[in-house]
Each structure stands twice: as structure tokens, then as C-alpha cells.
Amino acid sequence: MRQPNVLTTRSILLSVVVSIIVIAGLSCANAMALDQNTEVIASGERLVHNMDCNVCHTPKIFTPQGPKPDSSRLLSGHPSDEKLPTIPEGAISPTGWGGIFNNSLTAWAGPWGVSFGSNLTPDHKTGIGSWTEEIFVHAMRTGTHVGKARAFLPPMPTYSRLTDVELHAIYTYLKSIKPIINAVPEALPPLQPSQQKSEQTTK
């Protein structure tokens, strides 16, 4: 009767043990990476909440208590199909209001014109889905919108004092939320006196 090859048997067992150790190690590494990413996302969510990003970038539901964020359209920016209310003549002036906003708080009018909360979801065509982290950090620190020569318009501030860790957390969180297709309109320039008169005569 043929005797089993002890060396071959030991080699096979050793290979199996090594494979199990490698797989277990990879599983642990993946689990640790997943936990770390979950923590980063949670940190980014807290920062976005504490910085009140939802105020201007999330459409609202109008309730008896006033406007409240619409969680189904989280951070998707000013709705592309929403019509702006008429701004009363003379409302924005040195002796009037410095700025006014719509019910959703996603459109703001002032001496700069009308600005709209942008789509911060990871949609590739209408949001920040195509943005690299480098582009995002540059925009947040310099207040310069990607692909546009102009700076951010009010009420959007710049965040030059945020750390690399904080900006990474915000970016990671924004990339993790539901992408929403919503093409936010371009900002409107302030009306000149001649345009205001023209609008008044056509009403």
C-alpha cells in the first residue's frame, strides 16, 4: 500500500493555514478601513450640519412653523423649476433691505443680484460628482467656483480656516449622499435703473 507523502501533506496544510491568515488579515483591514470611512462620513455630516449648509443648499417644505428642510432633496440646491417671486420696487436699497430671500432660502437677492444655493450632491452633471477633492478644497478655501471666474456670491462664505482633515470629511460626506439631478440656474446680475424702468412699464 502506498504511503502518504508527509512533506506534501504538510505543505498543503501550511498553504491552507497561510491562506486563512491572509484572508483574515485582509478582512480585518477592510473592516478597519470601512469603520474609518464611516467615522469620516459621520464627521463630515456633523460639520455640514453645524455650518448650516442646509439653510441655503436644501430646498424647504413650507409649514405653519415656517420653512423646514426637505430631506428628500438634501443639499440639491435651488430647484431648477421654482419661479422666483417678484422683488418689490425699492426693497433693496441703502435705506431699505440689504438682502431678501425666497421661502426655501435657496435664492438670495441683494445689491449683487440674485444668487442661488448650488447642488452639492454627487450628481456628475448638475452637482459636484465630477469634482476631485483638490478642486473642492480649492473652492472652499478661495471662494472661487470651479469653472467660473467669479468668486462665491453672498450669502456663501469662504472657509479658509478649515483644516485639511475637516475639508476631507466634508468632501467624503457630500460624496456619500444621494445624487440628485437638479440644474441650478446661473446667478442673475443686479438690475440697472434702465432695466427696472423697462420692467415696470411691461407689468
Q: What is the pLDDT of residue 145?
A: 77
Q: What is the pLDDT of residue 19?
A: 58
Q: What is the pLDDT of residue 150?
A: 76
Q: What is the pLDDT of residue 12?
A: 67
HSE, side-chain direction, 13 A CA sphere, residue 116? 21
Query: pTM for this structure?
Result: 0.76
Q: What is the pLDDT of residue 174?
A: 98
Domain locations in the chain?
53-191
Between CA 75 and CA 102 the distance in angstroms is 16
Amino acid occupying residue 187 = A
Q: What is the pLDDT of residue 198?
A: 41
Q: What is the pLDDT of residue 88?
A: 84
pLDDT along the chain (203 residues), means of 10: 59 61 55 71 97 96 89 97 88 90 93 95 97 94 78 88 96 98 94 48 42
- DSSP string covering 37-101: HHHHHHHHHHHHHHTTHHHHHS-EEEETTEEEE-GGGTT--S-TTPPPPPPPTTSBSTTSBS-EE
